[in-house]
Amino acid sequence: MNEISGILLVIVSAIFVNNVVFARFLGICPYLGVSRKLDTALGMGFAVTFVMTIATAIGYVLHYGILVPYKIEFMQTVMFILVIASLVQLVEIILKKVSKTLYNSLGIFLPLITTNCAILGVALIAIQEDYSFVTSVVFAFFSAMGFILAILLFAGIREKLEEADVPKLFENVPIGLISAAILSLAFMGFSGLVK
Amino acid sequence: MNEALNIFTRGFVKENPVTKMLLGLCPVLAVTTSAINGLGMGLATTFVLLGSNVVISLASKAIPSTVRIPSFILVIATFVTIVDLLIQAFSPELNQALGIFIPLIVVNCMILGRAEAFASRNGLWYSVIDAVGMGLGFTFALFLLSALREVLGSGTIFNIPLVGEDASTILVFALPPGAFAGLGLIIAGLNLLEQKMGGSK
């Protein structure tokens, strides 16, 4: 029972309270880069979910299976980034063979994911927080859901902004950042929900 | 020499990695709660950029182009590990404040971007200048944002109080929304500056 309520807390915290984009500042580049259209934002979101969950699981196994027994934890950064980079390639190859449609919709986002700091960040946080294997995977999956929520909300706002009359100085990036600030302010309302 | 000066200065204004290219924004937004953190992060990133640019410009001929991205990432990750261990050893407070964003320097797209776009195609000398210019431009942007947030959010600069004890500060600038808004305002401000200078470029 305790286990289950712990996992529920992790879920709520990952989506709302410690949202990857608004509270942890991870994955800002794709958040600003591919959020111009709702459908590309969704595609990026799914690709991130896929890679983030698998990368965290593999990272967990390798960390406790290899790095800890041999006391070489300082190799963590190097190993995790190698896992992510090769995973992205692998996913790309498998998708190409298995499902053409999925490959066509997610394909262009995959190379970008290697340098998406949310993936490495979430994998590292799961280790730092001493989560169990199941909790880590749940945490990774729902952090990705939080990312999707953030990027979808923002894409919606941006599509509206296209038609808005924005002062010239604030066009494009500045107004985007200020909208993000207001969104992030709204998400702060969730803080205190989970300690 | 003119060419070198040009490479050096463009990292500051014309191609500033933060305000113009919007690269590596995650650490920019996350660690800029105080001026010291901003400077620390900027200098750590500059060090990694310098190291990776030097190694990559020297080794680029030996790296087959099919595996160049993984090789670049490996070089960058090595320097990040060095910085990580150095900061842990010499400044535990900075390590505490920057936290997870030190290992995350690996995925700072600015560094991979410079490796791919500049260091792998240019000689050692220009690559060093490019790294220092871009790194300092990055540090400058971080410093600007962190100083703004520290002054407005906590009423201090480098932990030195600017206003009286009981004065109220705009706390929101010290919190996550302030990071987004602050950067938005700075970019708009730079746009204004550029407009005032009459688009001299």
- Expressed as residue numbers, the domain containing B64 is 2-139
Residues B49/B111, Cβ–Cβ less than 8 Å = yes
Residue B12 located in a structural domain: yes
Residue B35 located in a structural domain: yes
pLDDT of residue A55: 92
Mean pLDDT of chain B: 86
Residue in the structure block whose two tokens are 């920019």: B28
Strand ranges in B14-145 using DSSP code E only, listed in sequence order: none
Cα B164 to Cα A120: distance, rounded to the nearest angstrom: 42
Across B45-53, average pLDDT: 94
Complex confidence, ipTM: 0.81
CA B179 to chain centre: 15
Residue B144 located in a structural domain: no
Verify whether the Cβ–Cβ distance A24 to B175 is below 8 Å: no
pLDDT of residue A85: 85
Task: Let me know if A146 is exposed, middle or buried by CB neighbors in 10 A (0-12, 13-18, 19+).
Answer: buried
Minimal Cα–Cα distance from B2 to chain A, Å?
32
Cα B109 to Cα B129: distance, rounded to the nearest angstrom: 19
> pLDDT tens digits for A107-141?
667 777 777 788 889 999 999 888 999 999 999 99
Domain tally for chain B?
1
Which of B80, B183, B192 has its CB closest to that of A177? B183
For residue A129, the chain B residue with the least C-alpha distance is B100
Q: How many CB atoms lie within 10 A of CB A170?
A: 18
Cα B69 to Cα B124: distance, rounded to the nearest angstrom: 19
Each domain of chain A, given as residue ranges in start order, spans 14-187
Residue in the structure block whose two tokens are 């299976």: A65
Across B109-126, average pLDDT: 86
- CA B182 vs CA A84, A174, B129, B131: distances in Å: 32, 9, 29, 26
Residue B178 located in a structural domain: no
For residue B86, the chain A residue with the least C-alpha distance is A74
Verify whether the Cβ–Cβ distance A178 to B176 is below 8 Å: no
Number of residues in chain B = 201
> pLDDT tens digits for A138-192?
999 999 999 999 989 988 888 888 888 888 888 888 888 899 999 888 888 888 7
> pLDDT tens digits for B124-177?
989 999 999 999 999 999 999 999 998 888 888 877 777 776 777 788 888 888
pLDDT of residue B201: 45
The end-to-end CA distance of chain A, in Å, is 19
Verify whether the Cβ–Cβ distance B184 to A174 is below 8 Å: yes
| Residue A145: both structure tokens together | 């859901």
Mark out the alpha helices in B102-168 (DSSP H runs): 109-114, 124-154
The helix/strand/coil state of B46 is: helix
Strand ranges in A35-185 using DSSP code E only, listed in sequence order: none
Residue B28 located in a structural domain: yes
Minimal Cα–Cα distance from B20 to chain A, Å?
10
> pLDDT tens digits for A33-46?
777 778 778 878 88
| Residue B53: both structure tokens together | 């640019």
Sign of CA dihedral A98, A101, A107, A109: negative
Helix (H) and strand (E) counts in chain B: 8, 2
pLDDT of residue B82: 93
The helix/strand/coil state of B123 is: coil
Q: How many CB atoms lie within 10 A of CB A103?
A: 18
pLDDT of residue A103: 77
Helix (H) and strand (E) counts in chain A: 9, 0
Cα B11 to Cα B138: distance, rounded to the nearest angstrom: 8
| Residue A89: both structure tokens together | 């390639």
* DSSP label at residue B118: I
pLDDT band at A10 (very low <50, low <70, confident <90, very high): confident
Q: How many CB atoms lie within 10 A of CB B164?
A: 7
Residue B184 located in a structural domain: no
Query: Is the overall model pTM greater than 0.95, yes or no?
Result: no
